[in-house]
Structure formats: structure tokens, C-alpha cells
Amino acid sequence: MVSARTSPLHFVPPTATDPRRALTDRIKALARQHGLAVTAITSADPFPDVAEHLDQHITHGHLTGLDWFTSERASFATDIRNLHEGAISILSVALPYWPGPTEKPDDGVARGRISRYAWGKDYHRVIKRRLTALQSAVEAELGRELDTRRLVDTARVVERAVAARAGLGWYGKHSNLIVPGHGSWVLLGELVLDLDLVPDAPLNRDCGRCAICIDRCPTGAIVAPYTVHAPSCISYLTIELREAIPPELRASMGDWVYGCDVCQEVCPYTGAAHRADDADLLPKSLNNAYPSLHWLLTMSQEDFGATYHGTAVPRAKRRGLARNAAVALGNIGTDADIPMLSAALAGHDEALVRGHAAWALCRLGTTGSRDALDRSLRCDPDPSVRAEARAARLSL
């Protein structure tokens, strides 16, 4: 029997006069007015496939070092109603941040690279502030308080799944979401709502035969389509890893000191990405985008705070950024950088940085390097630094 609900004779296409459709359209329009131009809606129903997918990744060690990715957390967060009981719909938002093609300045200064998403203000705060303003605007129109939750990275295990089911974008083989018109240069957030809104349909798209990002990843971290092995990914190594970077990966890290954009840069969809001139996401100085490696190696905690406060960069901490600068200088430096690296090896207050300076000196390999390494072997009080200096000396 065909029910009245499913009979084509009784199907009424949604129109702007349908109150549910009208409310959905109005919320998206308000989102645009509040700096959230790219939005889509999905229901708050669970995401059962995500927990299984994450379990497999955890089992194979692809998320090792990312302690927040646990099976328990995955299965909890894959039902948004565990986080917010009254959830009915989710507004998925994407903040585009592609600044257009940019080149590192050719100014004779050895410079590193910061991943573009971290150039401007911390996106967590930017998106949350805009979601808060949007919520207030919706409440003003409805004349009542909403029971909502604003999420940015909070339920990171389901964030991309929410966006994909909402049709905001689709998964690229580099495991980022690709959004039409913006490539993967988007930052995601969600507004969980107690409103019954019209969901959008998922996009039926994929990468086809393309595998450019897999081939071009400098460390081979994309071990299979849609599978990034985090312990080899430069993003993890430069931001999340607190200890020494595995020596065998250092030479592949190039000049990245915070994150890595390579798999996004090489993706053909980047060529079609619109330039996003969002003032909140633009760098306030050159050191927020292409920092001087010498400066990173000598910056005080005050310098670090003054330059990076309010951005995402403090996540790497001063010692992590200086460690990464030593590696980058080993990769792109010249003889002219030996004195700076020798000074870092002899006198940086962090043993982690001294150790990586030893590796960098070995990589640049000159008589000056040898002398600095010999001094370190004799004098450094930290056994981990002496071990790095010994390994470097043996390789010279």
C-alpha cells in the first residue's frame, strides 16, 4: 500500500512558503551576513561509519601520537546527541582561506613556511565568534533562546563527516574535504540546533583517477587514498610532536616550520579556488607566514608571544617552532647559516633545539660544523644533545 506520506500525488515540493524551508533559507542568509558564506545542513542523526573507520585507523597506527583519537571518544562523538541532547539539525559551515598564489619572499633571508590556515587569527575563535553572532541573530528573529552548541574542532572525529553528509564538500584522497569553488582551503565548524531544518544532499563526487597528492607528499604520509599516517605527516611532526623528530624524516620536511600545505597546493582543485580576502585570516606580519629561521632560533618567549598570540601557532610552542627552524635551516641553509646553527647548538636554552641544530650542522657539513659538533660533544650537559652531536659527527 502506498501511504499518503510517500505517494507522488501527495508530495508537495518545498517552497519558500514552506515554513521549514523558509526558516532554513533564512538561517543560511543570516549566516552569510555574519561572515559564514559557505553552509549546508544535515540532520543530527548518528554517523555509524565514522567510528568503524577511525577504529581501523587507530588499529593500524595511523593516528599514533594524536591522543584525542581514541575508540571510546570516536564512538561517543559519532552521535552528536551525546554531546548535545536536544540536537535536531546541524548547520555545517566552511570558512574559506585560500589567499591566492603566494611566493616566499626572495629577500636573502632564510625563511620557513607556516601553513596558510595559521597565518591569521586562530580560526577556532574566528568561527566561534561568527557562530555566536549568527545564533543571536536567529534568536532575535525567532523571539526565543535556542538550545545550541557551537563546535570547532570539538567533535573533530565527525567534523568532516558532518560536512560531507551535508553536501558542503566531499573527501579528497588527502583526507581533507574539498568544497566546490574553494578546494580544500576551508576551515570547518558546526552550529548544532534544536530546529527542524531541511537537510542538503551529499555531493556525489570523488577524485577519480587522480593521485597527485599521494605522489607528491614529501614524507609519503598518504599511505593509501583517504589514509594519512599521522606519525609521518609534517603537520603532525611540526605541531603535535613534542619530542625529537625522527631523523629519517627530517630531510623531507623542507622549510615547513608549522604544518604543511603540499597536498593541498598540488591538488587540481586549488587552481579553481576563489581567493578569500578574509581580514581575520590574513597574516599581520611576514613572521606569521614566512618567518625568518634565524629569528625563530633566537626568539625569546616574549617575542614568540608578541608575534603569535591570538593565532593557532602557539600550539607548537616556542621550543617546537625553534626545533623546526633548526631542521628547516639544515634543509635550505648554506654555509652562511653555520654560525647561527653553531650558536644554537652551543647556547639555546632548550636541549631539543640544540639536538636538532646538531643534525642541521651535519647536513650543511663544513669544517665549521665539525668544530661546533666537537665542542658540543665535549661540553653539552644533556645526554640527548651529545647523542645527536655524536651521530652527526659520525655522519660528517
- The identity of residue 122, as a single letter, is D
User: What's the distance, Cα to Cα, between the start and end of the chain in Å?
Assistant: 82
The residue ranges of DSSP E strands in the chain, in sequence order, are 38-43, 89-96, 113-114, 149-151, 170-171, 177-178, 186-193, 222-224, 227-228, 256-258
Q: Is 234 an interacting residue with respect to ligand SF4 (CB under 6 A)?
A: yes
Q: Is 186 an interacting residue with respect to ligand SF4 (CB under 6 A)?
A: no
Burial 5-25 (b: 16+ CB within 10 A, else e): eeeeeeeeeeeeeeeeeebbe
Least separation in angstroms between residue 215's CB and ligand SF4 is: 9
**Contacting ligand SF4 (CB under 6 A), which of 50, 267, 313, 322?**
267
Q: Is 63 an interacting residue with respect to ligand SF4 (CB under 6 A)?
A: no
C-alpha neighbours within 13 Å on the C-beta side of residue 228? 22
Nearer to ligand SF4, 86 or 268 (CB): 268
Least separation in angstroms between residue 118's CB and ligand SF4 is: 13
Nearer to ligand SF4, 221 or 344 (CB): 221
Q: Tell me the torsion sign for CA atoms 265, 270, 271, 276.
A: negative
Nearer to ligand SF4, 238 or 369 (CB): 238
97 phi-psi bin (left φ>0, alpha ψ -120 to 50, beta other): alpha
Question: Which residue in the block uniquely carries the three cell numbers 625568518?
Answer: 292
Q: Is 235 an interacting residue with respect to ligand SF4 (CB under 6 A)?
A: yes
Position closest to ligand SF4 via CB: 172
Nearer to ligand SF4, 267 or 293 (CB): 267
Determine the Cα–Cα distance for residues 288 and 307; give it in Å rounded to an integer. 7
Of 53-61, 121-129, 203-211, 360-368, which segment contacts ligand SF4 by CB under 6 A? 203-211
Q: Is 228 an interacting residue with respect to ligand SF4 (CB under 6 A)?
A: yes
Report which of 267, 254, 284, 237 is spatially closest to residue 118, judged by C-alpha positions: 284
> Which active-site residues does the annotation give?
153
Q: Is 181 an interacting residue with respect to ligand SF4 (CB under 6 A)?
A: no
**Phi, then psi, of 363 in degrees rounded to 5:** -65, -35
Of 17-25, 52-60, 214-222, 351-359, which segment contacts ligand SF4 by CB under 6 A? 214-222
Are the beta carbons of 222 and 213 closer than 8 angstroms? yes
Determine the Cα–Cα distance for residues 69 and 76; give it in Å rounded to an integer. 11
Nearer to ligand SF4, 88 or 203 (CB): 203
Least separation in angstroms between residue 223's CB and ligand SF4 is: 9
Site string for ligand SF4, 270-299 (x = CB under 6 A): ------------------------------
Q: Which residues are near ligand SF4 by CB under 6 A?
A: 172-174, 207, 210-213, 217-219, 221-222, 228, 233-235, 260, 262-263, 266-269
